Amino acid sequence: MKKILIYSVSVMLIGAVLCIAGWQEAAAAEPTDNFRAYPVARTDAKQSKAIAFLENFYKGLDEDQLDYAFVKKHTTSKAIQYLADNYDYDCDGNECLATWIYLYEGGGDTGPLKTRTFEMLNKTTCKVTQTYEGYEGQDYVYIVKLGLVKYGDTYKINTIEPVVGSND
């Protein structure tokens, strides 16, 4: 009889603890001062590695956009050809790449970079959204989709698709 009583009390205590834990979780998701808590979207490890690769690439590109050796290290020959084909200015016979396509449309002037975000659209395509300080209070937003391929234990940029460049 004592064993049944101890077992029953144990089950009731476990049930009470689980009930309290569930109530706390539900309470955390209720609105508080016009704020609602939602679960954070999780990216898988491959997506995190791809985004880390692009963050590193853009950090280097921000330091020296004309460092073609750096760009080639992170880009396939297909994407290098795309950059060469889209170089619209006089080229002095040396290699000329339209590396600005990673950053903004048309090689024009932009204000300082305000934000840059990376969003994986699928396992191999990332949307990079960059917002620059604009003129007369209008920000300039540039979006480019980059197709990635696995290259050893890292990635390379294989396709480049400018999506939009506009004043917001």
pLDDT of 91 reads 75
Beta strands 125-132 and 113-120 are: antiparallel
pLDDT of 7 reads 46
pLDDT of 109 reads 66
Ranking 38-42, 43-47, 102-106, 149-153 by mean pLDDT, the lowest is 38-42
pLDDT of 42 reads 46
Between the alpha carbon of residue 21 and those of residues 14, 27, 36, the distances in Å are 11, 10, 19
pLDDT of 61 reads 92
The domains located in the chain, with CATH, are: 1-39 (no CATH), 45-167 (3.10.450.50)
pLDDT digits 0-9 by tens, 60-95: 999 998 899 999 999 999 999 999 999 888 777 678
